[in-house]
Amino acid sequence: MITIPYLTALTTYFSYGLLFAFGQFRDFFRNIFDWWHASNLEGYAPICLGLEDFYIRRLYLRIQDCFGRPIASAPDAWFDVVERYSNDNNKTLKRTDKISRCLNLGSYNYLGFAAADEYCTPRVIDSLCRFSASTCSTRVEGGTTTLHKELEECVANFVGKPAAVVFGMGYVTNSAILPVIIGRGGLIISDSLNHNSIVNGARGSGATIRVFQHNTPSHLEKVLREQIADGQPRTHRPWKKIIVVVEGIYSMEGELCKLPEIIAICKKYKAYVYLDEAHSIGAVGKTGRGVCELLGVDTADVDIMMGTFTKSFGSCGGYIAGSKELIQYLKYTCPAHLYATSISPPAAQQIISSIKVILGEDGSSRGAQKLARIRENSNFFRSELQKMGFEVLGDNDSPIMPIMLYNPAKIPAFSRECLKQNVAVVTVAFPATPLLLARARICISASHTKEDLLKALEVISQVGDMVGIKYFPAEPKKQQQDQQQPQPGKDTIKLD
């Protein structure tokens, strides 16, 4: 839960109201202007009606230069951001040839495999020459190579399940698996802050969807009891199947899921658990095996484990791990396996090599060093930020830390000021977060050194003072361990 002071809430509402009013005003003038000029699409309804793209035209375009910044090098700890300029008040942005070297606090590069790596890259180039960049075919036709088989065994081993199947894109993994394993007459209970791919997959399946409050096992139990007692919507017959979908680390909050309690509840009521480890696989846990290892949960208790390779392994694609029967069934029915081109062979080799490095099978201890470094870096950074008085979300050991901004004007201010001092941060606003809760999200990587982190802290502190986001008083000398939010005072309101 996030507590927001009254004054901040008031000013945020006021700012959005002002932007909305201005937007409507300009739209009104534009309608009059358009009425004078006929368009050549007579008889066709406009492709974007009325208010559908109001947010884009009037709010987003003003701060468009804070998003979608192109880079000209690998997304490592330091990278080259391409400078852009605009002649027409941010409506279109043009690239220049100038680049500025910035500290990267935005890319998902948890273990530092993003740039060319000494163990992985020669093997990747090897497999490129052997198998070429693509197999041009689906997995069930000509697209299964020896690399794909090796990859699936490797992943199943790493995650701790009997079998696994790999797809070429993480988003499609969720959207194409949920319709296959559950259909009409089933129930999906998902966390309120689940990722868009899960929401899409759940909608595409045709099952009934219910939402429980974010990370609150007691509310989950309440919803389960209600739904089991009620049965299916109109016939009141018992549900055919109940699946509870949660994520390992939530990407906008940085929180870990309360997995042991949720699994206990699901066992009691006989529901299946689907765990999406997109951000946590490879990044947390003593040997990098994800949330299950960190929280001490047996992998046999989680029925379906899903994850992606984009974040910790520096590649692309997603996987599903489960029992042998489940994976066999998926291989014969899942549309993403039957119709989509198989994962590119060099990307597959990158995953295999990075798993070997993490497990130490390449003969060095780089994997263990990386895992220890990311843990140290995240904990150090988070505690320093909290000492400075920023409102930082997330649990200990999680490499994602959102810093609350709230006010819409602070979003571009924070982003641009940091860029001027050569630190690249990511700011997130509506619609990825609720309207009032805009934030800047920092992703720590194992390739950040102590100097990089100190420089980042200095710059963020300076910009934070300038922009005014140190909502809590700074605590210079006190030791703060394992922070939840400080107790709300009398003049704050709670928001969920």
Partner 1 sequence: MLSEPPVLESAAGPHTIINGKEVVNFASANYLGFVGHDKLLESCTSALEKYGVGSCGPRGFYGTIDVHLDCEARIANFLGTHDSILYSYGLSTLFSAIPCFCKKGDIIVVDEGVHWGIQNGLYLSRSTIVYFKHNDMDSLEKTLEKITALNKRAKKLRRYIVVESVYQNSGQIAPLDKIIKLKEKYRFRVLLDETNSFGVLGRTGRGLTEYCGVPIEKIDIVTAAMGHALATEGGFCTGSARVIDHQRLSSSGYVFSASLPPYLASAAITAIDILQQNPDLTSKLKENIAILWKGLSDIRGLSIASNPESPIVFLVLEKSTGSMKSDLQLLEDIADRALKQESIFVMASKRSTLDKCPLPVGIRLFVSSAHSEFDLLKACESLKRVAAAMLR
Q: What's the full length of the chain, in residues?
A: 496
Note the maximum CA span of the chain.
73
Residue 257 has a CB neighbour count (10 Å cut-off) of 23
Shortest Å, Cβ 316 to partner 1? 5
Shortest Å, Cβ 350 to partner 1? 4
Instruction: Say if residues 437 and 494 touch (Cβ distance below 8 Å).
Output: no
Q: Which helix (H) or strand (E) holds 364?
A: none
Shortest Å, Cβ 90 to partner 1? 13
Shortest Å, Cβ 388 to partner 1? 24
194 vs 398, beta carbon nearer partner 1: 194
Q: Which helix (H) or strand (E) holds 65?
A: none
Q: Which two tokens stand for residue 246?
A: 């949660």
Q: Which two tokens stand for residue 344?
A: 């590119």
**DSSP state at residue 59:** I
Residue 217 sits at the vertex; the CA angle it makes with 211 and 219, to the nearest 5 degrees, is 50
Instruction: Say if residues 456 and 105 touch (Cβ distance below 8 Å).
Output: yes
34 vs 53, beta carbon nearer partner 1: 53
> Which distant-in-sequence residues (6+ apart) come within 8 Å of 126 by Cβ?
349
76 vs 255, beta carbon nearer partner 1: 76
Shortest Å, Cβ 404 to partner 1? 18
150 vs 496, beta carbon nearer partner 1: 150
Shortest Å, Cβ 432 to partner 1? 8
70 vs 238, beta carbon nearer partner 1: 70
3-state secondary structure at position 281: coil
Ordered DSSP codes for 307-337: EESTTTSSS--EEEEE-HHHHHHHHHH-HHH
67 vs 269, beta carbon nearer partner 1: 67
- Residue bearing tokens 């406009």: 46
Residue 237 has a CB neighbour count (10 Å cut-off) of 10
Instruction: Say if residues 345 and 194 touch (Cβ distance below 8 Å).
Output: no
Shortest Å, Cβ 100 to partner 1? 13
141 vs 361, beta carbon nearer partner 1: 141
Shortest Å, Cβ 105 to partner 1? 9
333 vs 364, beta carbon nearer partner 1: 333
How far apart CA 217 and CA 251 sit, in angstroms, is: 19
Cα dihedral sign, 450-452-456-459 = positive
Q: Distance of CA 262 to CAs 201, 217, 480, Å?
A: 21, 6, 28
How far apart CA 8 and CA 353 sit, in angstroms, is: 48
Shortest Å, Cβ 128 to partner 1? 6
Shortest Å, Cβ 137 to partner 1? 4
Residue 135 has a CB neighbour count (10 Å cut-off) of 20
Residue 173 φ then ψ, to 5°: -55, -50
How far apart CA 218 and CA 197 sit, in angstroms, is: 25
Shortest Å, Cβ 57 to partner 1? 10
How far apart CA 454 and CA 475 sit, in angstroms, is: 18
Q: Distance of CA 318 to CAs 145, 290, 309, Å?
A: 17, 15, 6
Which residues share a beta bridge with 243?
A: 188, 272
3-state secondary structure at position 239: coil
24 vs 132, beta carbon nearer partner 1: 132
171 vs 471, beta carbon nearer partner 1: 171
Q: How far does CA 284 lie from the centroid of its chain?
A: 15
79 vs 274, beta carbon nearer partner 1: 79
Shortest Å, Cβ 487 to partner 1? 33
328 vs 449, beta carbon nearer partner 1: 328
